[in-house]
Amino acid sequence: MSIVLRFTPNLARHLDCPDARVAAETLHDALDQYFRQNPSVRGYVLDDQGMVRKHVAIFINQALISDRIGLTDKIDAGDEIFVMQALSGG
């Protein structure tokens, strides 16, 4: 099952993170496949425990993921995963 994985253009200014098509059934599997081809991106998205970093937001079809720890969110063919820097401030 093929899905599209995209990264915010802001990240692309600092790191090579091209869009990619991967075949996976969970977010974990999709990211794992992407990181095998683009290992430098892993440290930006995940911490050393394999959890989504606090400053990163991941969306599947414009909906924020629900599992930032195990990355067990299900994905279906045609879905789009979008990874961006989370913003905060006041």
Count: domains in the chain: 1
Answer for the pair 26, 34: CB distance below 8 angstroms, yes or no.
Answer: no
Q: How many CB atoms lie under 10 A from the CB of residue 45?
A: 19
Hunting for tokens 């006041």 — which residue is that?
90
pLDDT, residue 1, reads 66
Asked if residue 8 belongs to a domain, the reply is yes
How many angstroms separate the CA atoms of 7 and 19, rounded?
7
pLDDT, residue 53, reads 95
Asked if residue 14 belongs to a domain, the reply is yes
pLDDT, residue 90, reads 56
Asked if residue 90 belongs to a domain, the reply is no
Asked if residue 51 belongs to a domain, the reply is yes
How many angstroms separate the CA atoms of 1 and 75, rounded?
9
Please report, for the domain that includes residue 45, its CATH number: 3.10.20.30
Which residues form the domain of 28? 2-85
Asked if residue 64 belongs to a domain, the reply is yes
Q: pLDDT tens digits, the chain, 90 residues: what are they?
A: 689 999 998 887 888 999 999 999 999 999 999 999 999 999 999 999 999 999 999 999 999 999 999 999 999 999 999 999 876 665
Asked if residue 72 belongs to a domain, the reply is yes
pLDDT, residue 12, reads 77
> Token pair for residue 36?
């095998």
pLDDT, residue 9, reads 87
Asked if residue 46 belongs to a domain, the reply is yes
How many angstroms separate the CA atoms of 2 and 14, rounded?
27
